[in-house]
Amino acid sequence: MRLRALAAAALAATALTACGGSGSDGKQTVTMWIYPVIPDQTAHQAFWDGQSAAFEKANPGIDVKVEIYPWAKRDEALSTAIAGNKAPDVVYMIPDQLPKYVKTLQPIELQDAGGHREAAVRSVTVDGKVTAAPLLMTAQPLICNQRAFDAAGVKDFPATWEDLLKLAPEFKKKGIDVTNYWADPAQTLNMSFYPLLWQAGGEVFSPDGRSAAFGGPEGVRALTFLKQLADGGFVEKDLLTGLPKFEQTRAAQNKVACTWQHLPADVKSFWGEDNIRVRPPLTAAKQVAYGTVGSLALLKGADDKDAAAKWIAFATRAEAADAYDRAAGAFSPRKTALYAGDPVLGEVEKTLDLTTAGPLHPKARDVMGVLSPEIQAALVGGKSPEQALADAAKAANALLGS
């Protein structure tokens, strides 16, 4: 799902419109901040206008104001609003934000908890408490380009790392990369290195969260696998050092066989929907893929927590969430099939239970910041995987105070 930010001017209005509270008519106002999950701004606003109207009809003493802000600098805007006591009552968050804001979030009772996917509930649970209500899920399994397979004369799709390495020379003979890897530090590791780390059986942090764990044998195995791909010329060299626009990459030119770093929507206009083949995540020691969970969180500073909680329950109920997820091209966090029979989205949907959103740790993004450059150094700068990960772990442990 390629999300587009709304006009930056909306951000400037934050301080003026954030707070909930009681209006002059005695009604309680609940404010919610959300971001362009549905790329079409008009359709997105219309969806929430409809939900707000339905909720207010059922709850005549409560007004709801939904404000759609840009993705860019959303953390800065929210942190500033919280510090200035101008925060919304409800805000859309993804899993790696929850630990950062957990002290400002009100734990909630999840409606129909047993009907939700385990991966969804796990992704909103911090320190044993549910901190937000899941609204949507995404998954990034392996997707392959049938056009590239036909051009290379390859019939079988890879299921394991070994399969990928075995197929790489066959594709290379035809001028096709077996996969791609974006190593620029500006790119999130959730969609690049971490899936390999998890597939190798590794984790980013130790069980107690006090030290880095990615430097162990599992991390070395994952980075060694990547280095084999880079050293063999089996991935696009430019992606290891830069951040080109997608349309300028070999994947967009139908010169990449398979990737775990893109969604079908990213490649649809370049490959053609009929050429997209969704495969399960690659397997090494484990079979796992990255997938995020979009959720609605209740801030402790809300003027009326009961009213805000009612709105969250209403906005994330199955009827509303299913309609929202379809409009966004996302998936249900419940054990529900929205796309049964769809040859692309239906196949992605089948992999939701194999996903993880990554570590729920307040320093997750900081640790990613010191690990990314070292991975790049191993791929293009001559460092061994062992040394690169050891150097990254030393820096990460300093951040963690260990």
pLDDT over threshold 80, residue 11:
no
- Residues 352, 391 share a domain: no
Q: How confident is the model at residue 22 (pLDDT cuts 50, 70, 90)?
A: low
Q: Average pLDDT, stretch 283-288? A: 98
pTM beyond 0.85: yes
- Residues 109, 92 share a domain: yes
Residue 320 lies in a domain: yes
Residue 124 near residue 98 (C-beta atoms within 8 A) = yes
pLDDT over threshold 70, residue 57:
yes
Residue 2 lies in a domain: no
- pLDDT the model gives residue 16: 31
- Residues 80, 220 share a domain: no
- Residues 306, 264 share a domain: no
- pLDDT the model gives residue 27: 84
pLDDT over threshold 90, residue 116:
yes
- pLDDT the model gives residue 112: 83
- Residues 146, 128 share a domain: no
- Residues 61, 156 share a domain: no
Residue 211 lies in a domain: yes
Q: How confident is the model at residue 4 (pLDDT cuts 50, 70, 90)?
A: very low
Q: Average pLDDT, stretch 290-302? A: 97
Overall domain count for the chain:
2
Residue 4 lies in a domain: no
- Residues 265, 162 share a domain: yes
How do residues 127-176 score in pLDDT, each as one tens digit?
A: 999 999 999 999 999 999 999 999 999 999 999 999 999 999 999 999 99
- pLDDT the model gives residue 5: 32
What CATH number did the domain enclosing 235 receive? 3.40.190.10
Domain around 39: 9-139+292-356
- Residues 99, 44 share a domain: yes
pLDDT over threshold 60, residue 275:
yes
Query: What distance in Å separates the CA atoms of residue 61 and residue 238, rounded to the nearest whole number?
Result: 58
Q: Average pLDDT, stretch 229-248? A: 96
Q: Which of 356, 375, 390 is the last residue of a domain?
A: 356
Residue, of 148 and 7, whose pLDDT is higher: 148
- Residues 183, 35 share a domain: no
- Residues 197, 94 share a domain: no
How do residues 70-102 score in pLDDT, each as one tens digit?
A: 999 999 999 999 999 999 999 999 999 999 999
Q: Average pLDDT, stretch 336-358? A: 96
Share of the chain above pLDDT 90, in %: 91
Mean pLDDT, the chain, as a whole number? 93
pLDDT over threshold 90, residue 114:
no
Residue 3 lies in a domain: no
Reported as half-sphere exposure (CB side, CA atoms, 13 A), residue 147 has a value of: 15
Residue 241 lies in a domain: yes
- Residues 157, 265 share a domain: yes
- Residues 296, 283 share a domain: no
- pLDDT the model gives residue 287: 98
pLDDT over threshold 80, residue 293:
yes
Provide the sign of the torsion angle of the four alpha carbons 257, 258, 261, 264, taken in this order. positive
Q: Exposed/middle/buried for 13, CB within 10 Å: 0-12, 13-18, 19+? A: exposed
Of the candidate ranges 1-15, 86-100, 335-349, 362-376, the one whose mean pLDDT is the lowest = 1-15
pLDDT over threshold 70, residue 6:
no
- pLDDT the model gives residue 111: 81
- pLDDT the model gives residue 25: 59
